[in-house]
Amino acid sequence: MSLYPLKFDPILKERLWGGTKLKQVLGKEITSDITGESWELSGVAGDVSIVANGKLKGCSLQELITKYPEEVLGKSVLERFGSEFPVLIKFIDAKQDLSIQLHPNDKLAKKRHNSFGKTEMWYVMDADKDAELIVGFNKTVTKDEYAKSIEENSLLALLNYEKVQEGDTFFINTGKIHAIGSGVLLAEIQQTSDVTYRVFDFNRKDKDGNYRELHTELALDAIDYEKKDDFKVSYNQNKDEVNSMVACPYFTTNYLDLTQPMELNVADRNSFTIYICVAGNASIANDFGQIDLQKGQTILIPAVSKTIHINTTKAKLLEVTI
């Protein structure tokens, strides 16, 4: 099979805190005023991405992996993660603050949920004036201090707030308490996992008048209570180069700010490659075909590819591999 660059139908999710920026800024075909997420590339059961272009249109990502496992994923990825697609790519629009939450590590997630943990990173694509993220604590706390703050409804006083603008990037390792603040639109790259421990939701009620479930007890043994300044990603933004952003066991992400065509030899990469367009547009080709990519779109280059050609005069891309 000639595995050309693959684009997938977005999986749109209404959320209590969602808005309309996915349509206004990224051109998604949303139909509500509370669309919070666009799942761009997903192997999560029940939400598996469907190919939107070419001869494979209508095939699911999982069907492709089942038929062409090594060609799609790459041998080393297949050996490490099996036939489950190991990352989940999303765009998130927070019109309101998201709940304060954290994610368990692999060991705890496997024990409790038979799932991977959830390490993730955020790239801010758009932010209202004074928009913020919550990332970690503003001081090291004990488990008892944290538990008391939950009981007394005073958790917010313990949290670290970060004002953000376009281009800011954050790495959220497991155990780190966090929340996306109102007015932020971002791209999220994460392990394939939907395990989230929600610990505070601003006492909001859903559309049916109910409080959303909190995971107070589950979170106690999953939280990293130490104050750490390890979350803000400093990265070069050199034009027409591959700039390293994040390298962790679960994904590697690079930043490309291109003003001219680029050719990449990926014969030895032994992994699929994902491109997320965060500004501008480009035409991207592998050995078997090409596709146009514009801001707010994501494509998958199968691992069987030997070369990648990016034709553009102005594009900013996030490149994700394993």
Per-residue pLDDT of 302-311, as tens digits, reads 999 999 999 9
For residues 210 and 108, state if they share a domain: yes
Q: Are 280 and 314 in contact (CB under 8 A)?
A: yes
Q: Residue 1 domain-assigned?
A: no
Question: How many Cβ atoms are within 10 Å of 248's Cβ, its own excluded?
Answer: 13
Number of structural domains found in the chain: 2
Q: Residue 67 domain-assigned?
A: yes
For residues 256 and 297, state if they share a domain: yes
For residues 122 and 254, state if they share a domain: no
CATH number at residue 61: 2.60.120.10
What is the model's pTM?
A: 0.96
Q: Residue 102 domain-assigned?
A: yes
* Whether the predicted pLDDT of 207 surpasses 90: no
Q: Residue 232 domain-assigned?
A: no
Average pLDDT over residues 14-33: 96
Q: Residue 225 domain-assigned?
A: no
Give pLDDT, residue 203: 86
Q: Please identify which of the residues 15, 198, 204, 269 carries the catalytic annotation.
A: 198
Amino acid at 241: E
Average pLDDT across the chain, whole number: 96
Burial 113-144, CB ≥16 within 10 A → b, else e: eebbbbbbbbbbbbbeeebbbbbbbeeebeee
Per-residue pLDDT reduced to its tens digit, 217-271: 999 999 999 999 999 999 999 999 999 999 999 999 999 999 999 999 999 999 9
198 is catalytic: yes
For residue 125, what are the domain limits? 6-220
Per-residue pLDDT reduced to its tens digit, 133-176: 999 999 999 999 999 999 999 999 999 999 999 999 999 999 99
If phi > 0 it is left, if psi is from -120 to 50 it is alpha, else beta; for residue 27 that is: left
Give pLDDT, residue 114: 87
According to the annotation, is 178 in a ligand binding site?
yes
Give pLDDT, residue 116: 85
If phi > 0 it is left, if psi is from -120 to 50 it is alpha, else beta; for residue 283 that is: beta
For residues 16 and 162, state if they share a domain: yes
Q: Are 306 and 266 in contact (CB under 8 A)?
A: yes
Q: Are 97 and 18 in contact (CB under 8 A)?
A: no
How far apart (Å, rounded) are the C-alpha atoms in residues 123 and 276?
A: 11
